[in-house]
Amino acid sequence: MTKPFYVTTAISYPNGAPHIGHAYEMIATDAIARWKRLEGREVYFLTGTDEHGIKMVQTAAKEGIPVRELADRNAAEFRKLAAELNLSNDDFIRTTEQRHHEASQAIWRKMEASSNGDIFQSTYKGWYSVRDEAYFDEDELTEKDGKRFAPSGAEVEWVEEPTYFFRLSAYGDKLLELYEQNPDFIAPKERRNEIISFVKGGLQDLSISRTTFDWGIPVPGANGHVMYVWVDALTNYITGVGYPDEESELFKKFWPADLHVIGKDIIRFHTVYWPAFLMSAGLPVQHRVFAHGFLTVDGQKMSKSLGNVIDPFELVEMFGADAVRYFFLREVSFGNDGDYAHEKLVNRVNADLANNLGNLAQRSLSMINKNCDGKVPAFGHATPADEQLEKEVGEAIQTAQKAMDEQLIHEATGALIVALSSANNYFAAQEPWALKKTDPERMATVLYRTADTVRRLAIPMLAFVPASAARLLEQLAVPEEDRILPLAIVPHRLQPGTELPVPQGVFARLEKPAE
Ligand code: ME8
């Protein structure tokens, strides 16, 4: 399978430091990107920051600093977070970059030149939520104490200004046809139904420029207008692969994107506006959008006023990147909301990584070190228990593969952990330490099969806990080029006689931090 694979995260607003919701999306998307590379596919993985819009302007004003300074400061934090989480992104895009201004103006011109005249001038009169950077109809709002609120809970303000519009109303049928012909375009399924009924309800034209501030990408040929932040934000996905140069190698290879990973609050932008913009510009539409859920902390919404905002940098410092990654990938059903609590992380990581995977590796490798001259032992014929384990591990990898094809990351990690438990049971039942005296040949076989099982399961774990899984594979002397899924499926790839390094524990048990 050599088909290229292009995957993106949403680009985050750098109006504040990153929080664990941002970290979560990065981690999940990275696991998907790494998995595809393990399949042998050429992957392009893009993440970045969404730096225009009124929210940035207002935050900078509150802090008394220039917007550019706010953007620079926080974009650096997002970039640093990506590095600390051990992300394998190929690029990090900032929407304030020159290349992105060019791409945004190019797609604008294409939409403007479309045969139905998709861009036209008029006056926008309506409600705007700065926090959501989104327009709302009167009937989407709730009212309290004379104020009006968007579904997100953010207060809306009345806006009246001359702007350019995008003829979204002309795209209803085309979008419904897109969803119809591509049943996998929107995942999870419930989200798809929501969007279909939204579009069936009728689409209104969309205001796509602003005139009351200038922090944005200038509308080509229209003094005083900057693009509505979402027009430029969505365009990042094509800027990242070289647009407007449609003949560039990157663009030809990777566009249309295989997958946009986003949170559930921005589905409409990605499954209604974005494909409509692309169709209007005559560009192919992305293949799929997966909307993950939202994270809460100790069962509560994260908020500055509750003081429960978790700093992802602190988490990485406390537990290490792999522990943080693993917790979210295993604990949260991808697509559903999830909850973070220190205790849950510690319990999950200790149970699955330290006690299960780490234990299996450490016990088998230290026995090999002591009893087999520090070399991969030779193995004899298979007993039914050996065959059973071998089969179970192969099936677990296949189950994980199927799950990852649909981004069901928690199911993939779950299947691997179940197989690891079986391997631990196998090891305990075979009692290699007792065989040492009675049947050393059989002991060697049991140790071989256990070590080979660690190899087979550590390879897919590279997607989830890349640094730790790589350390395990080093202890098994598995060459880099052999760390791919097609070779994880195959048993007996460890070569008897291969010298192994002195084993070292890879997963330390975590302690719950003091409050
Ligand atoms: O929406 N739990 O930026 P953003 C999980 N710039 N995910 C969360 C979350 C939470 N508590 N809070 C936010 C934007 N997210 C736009 C995107 S894309 C062209 C432009 C997710 O910084 C959110 O759903 O508000 C989104 O996918 C991402 O983090 C960035 O959110």
For the cut 60, the answer to whether the pLDDT of residue 1 exceeds it is no
Burial of 442 (0-12, 13-18, 19+ CB in 10 A): middle
The model's confidence at residue 499, banded by pLDDT at 50, 70 and 90, is: very high
Atom of ligand 1 nearest to the CA of 13: 22
406 lines ligand 1 (CB under 6 A): no
Torsion of CA 189, 192, 193, 194, to 10 degrees: 120
Contact (CB, 8 A) for 424 and 360:
yes
* pLDDT value, residue 300: 86
- 185 and 39 fall within a common domain: yes
> For residue 271, how many C-alpha atoms fall within 13 Å in the half-sphere facing its CB?
34
The residue written with tokens 């922090």 in the block is: 215
At position 501, the amino acid (one-letter code) is P
The residue written with tokens 């088998």 in the block is: 364
The domain that contains 35 carries what CATH number? 3.40.50.620
Q: In the listed set 292, 316, 335, which residue is the last one of a domain according to the structure? A: 292
Q: What is the pLDDT of residues 220-270, one digit of tens each?
A: 999 999 999 999 999 999 999 999 999 999 999 999 999 999 999 999 999
5 lines ligand 1 (CB under 6 A): no
Would you state the structure tokens that stand for residue 258, as one six-digit string? 């295989």
- 363 and 225 fall within a common domain: no
- In this prediction, what percent of the chain has a pLDDT beyond 90? 96
Task: Kindly state the average pLDDT of the residues 363-374.
Answer: 97
Does 10 fall in a domain? yes
Domain count, the chain: 2
- 370 and 223 fall within a common domain: no
The model's confidence at residue 515, banded by pLDDT at 50, 70 and 90, is: low
- 383 and 270 fall within a common domain: no
Instruction: Give, using CA atoms, the residue closest to atom 9 of ligand 1.
Output: 21
Task: Kindly state the average pLDDT of the residues 431-439.
Answer: 96
Residue 191 Cα to ligand 1 midpoint, Å, equals 16
pTM for the model: 0.97
Does 220 fall in a domain? yes
* pLDDT value, residue 225: 97
DSSP 481: G
Of 54, 152, 266, 315, the one to substitute when testing ligand 1's pocket (max ligand atoms within 8 A of C-beta) is 266
Coil/strand/helix, residue 146: coil
Q: What is the pLDDT of residues 85-126, one digit of tens each?
A: 999 999 999 999 999 999 999 999 999 999 889 999 999 999
The model's confidence at residue 512, banded by pLDDT at 50, 70 and 90, is: confident
Does 345 fall in a domain? no
- Domain span at 72: 5-292
Q: In the listed set 292, 319, 339, which residue is the last one of a domain according to the structure? A: 292
Rg (CA), the chain: 26
- 264 and 186 fall within a common domain: yes
- 367 and 478 fall within a common domain: yes
Residue 452 Cα to ligand 1 midpoint, Å, equals 41
The domain that contains 435 carries what CATH number? 1.10.730.10
ipTM of this predicted structure:
0.99
* pLDDT value, residue 301: 86
* pLDDT value, residue 260: 98
Task: Kindly state the average pLDDT of the residues 481-501.
Answer: 97
At position 9, the amino acid (one-letter code) is T
Taking the C-alpha atoms of residue 484 and residue 503, their distance in angstroms, rounded to an integer, is 22
Average pLDDT score, the chain: 96
Q: Which residues contact 256 (CB under 8 A, 6 or more apart)?
A: 6, 283, 284, 285, 286, 287
Q: In the listed set 251, 266, 292, which residue is the last one of a domain according to the structure? A: 292
Task: Kindly state the average pLDDT of the residues 294-318.
Answer: 89
- 267 and 141 fall within a common domain: yes
- 237 and 386 fall within a common domain: no
Chain centroid, CA 219 distance in Å = 32
Task: Kindly state the average pLDDT of the residues 386-406.
Answer: 98
At position 123, the amino acid (one-letter code) is T
240 lines ligand 1 (CB under 6 A): no
- 250 and 377 fall within a common domain: no
Contact (CB, 8 A) for 222 and 164:
yes
Residue 157, beta-bridge partner list: 128
Does 262 fall in a domain? yes
Q: Which residues contact 326 (CB under 8 A, 6 or more apart)?
A: 348, 349, 352, 353, 413, 464, 465
Does 304 fall in a domain? no
Does 482 fall in a domain? yes
Does 334 fall in a domain? no
Does 315 fall in a domain? no
- 114 and 17 fall within a common domain: yes
14 lines ligand 1 (CB under 6 A): no
Residue 438 Cα to ligand 1 midpoint, Å, equals 60
DSSP 246: T
Q: What is the 3-state secondary structure (H, E, C) of 342-377?
A: HHHHHHHHHHHHHHHHHHHHHHHHHHHHHHCCCECC
Least confident of 60-64, 280-284, 301-305, 320-324: 301-305
- 268 and 186 fall within a common domain: yes
- 160 and 80 fall within a common domain: yes
- In this prediction, what percent of the chain has a pLDDT beyond 70? 100
237 lines ligand 1 (CB under 6 A): no
Residue 86 Cα to ligand 1 midpoint, Å, equals 20
